[in-house]
A = this chain, B = another copy of it.
Amino acid sequence: MKAVLFDDALRVSHDHPVPDVPSGWARIRVKLAGICQTDLEITKGYLGFRGVLGHEFVGEVEQCADPAWRGRRVVGEINAACGACDWCARGLGRHCPNRTTLGIAGLDGCMADFCVLPVANLLEVPAAISDERAVLVEPLSAACEILEQQPLKGHERIVVLGDGRLGLLCAWVLSTVAQDVTLVGHHPEKLVLAPWRGLRTCAHAEDVKPGADVVVEATGSGSGLALAMALCRPRGTIVLKSTVASPGAINLAPVVIHEMTVRGSRCGRFKDGLALMQKHPDMPLERLITAQRPIDEALNAFEQAGSGKALKVLLRINP
């Protein structure tokens, strides 16, 4: 089968073996796959992953012991959890210490004709949701994770730092519950895509009034946390979405003096992402899709995705 591989370099293989289907798992014929920042980082040698890339997809179940699943259009939670540990028992398989992760750790990914996942990870995509929206469920769910961790009453003033994919998604998700959300970014061509439901944009952080109740750090840059501390009110919350290291010494004294809460936030539950898509069919997710390219053009597609100009680049695999 065709597959986008990273071993020592990024390449497209045309004869990668079709994966076997373990008991309790399903094989999915992939329709669309998204290129994510994590994929770009893997191709720079971070994370140590070698194999088929990709963890954002929509596809159709091709093989599965349970015939009811066959032919269904699905998305899939990316962490294959052990199902036996305390985390799994609490429904937090995405923190299972024994997990493998699709295209990231110990499990071949979805940038291929086929990928495999536990049946327990699959969610059927409602007919009203297009492939182009469904493939965005992973980053949308990561944005929804903020609401799971930090319940909002709606009156909070919220600032989202970073106008990349994740920043836009966080701003849209937060706009579904809060009235006063401002997205701060440096890219006019991205900020122009943001307005929805009263969401405001701002190109200069110095124009943002300090004292926000919640600041979401999604810049992907090391200086974002310092800016978040400057904009957050005493006893406010900073949600950290970026995993980027600070470039130099960072002084967390403001967090202590003003008793801020810094909340690390990563993946979310796909069922939350799908539910949000159903509830808000007007959320302009399609604006995130900069380009769709056939899998054979994966190398160019990765280059485009990493250029800083693109938001989301999709690979068409079996459309």
Give me the interface of A with B, judged by CB distance under 8 Å: 87, 92, 95, 145, 149, 222, 225, 234-235, 240-266
> Is A265's CB under 8 angstroms from B258's CB?
no
Instruction: Give the most central of A87, A242, A252, A265: most B CB within 10 Å.
Output: A252
- Given A95-B234, A235-B92, does the pair A257, B250 have CB atoms closer than 8 Å? no
> Is A235's CB under 8 angstroms from B265's CB?
no
Which chain B residue has the least Cβ–Cβ distance from A150?
B261
Contacts of A247 in B (CB 8 A): 249
Contacts of A257 in B (CB 8 A): 243, 264, 266
> Is A241's CB under 8 angstroms from B256's CB?
yes
Bound complex: CA of A262 vs CA of B239, how far in Å?
10
Chain copies in complex: 2
- Given A95-B234, A253-B243, does the pair A261, B262 have CB atoms closer than 8 Å? yes
Bound complex: CA of A145 vs CA of B256, how far in Å?
12
Instruction: Give the most central of A95, A243, A262: most B CB within 10 Å.
Output: A262
Which chain B residue has the least Cβ–Cβ distance from A267?
B259
Bound complex: CA of A264 vs CA of B247, how far in Å?
22
Complex A-B: 8 CB contacts under 8 Å? A87-B234, A92-B235, A149-B259, A225-B252, A246-B246, A247-B249, A257-B266, A259-B263
Which chain B residue has the least Cβ–Cβ distance from A254?
B264
Q: Across chains A and B, which 10 residue pairs bring their CB atoms closest together, nearest first?
A: A255-B264, A245-B251, A262-B262, A256-B264, A243-B253, A95-B234, A243-B256, A259-B264, A260-B264, A240-B256
Bound complex: CA of A196 vs CA of B281, how far in Å?
59
> Is B240's CB under 8 angstroms from A245's CB?
no
Which chain B residue has the least Cβ–Cβ distance from A257?
B266
Which chain B residue has the least Cβ–Cβ distance from A260?
B264
Bound complex: CA of A246 vs CA of B253, how far in Å?
10
> Is B261's CB under 8 angstroms from A264's CB?
yes
Contacts of A266 in B (CB 8 A): 256-257, 259
- The residue from B235, B242, B250, B258 contacting A256, defined by CB atoms under 8 A apart: B242
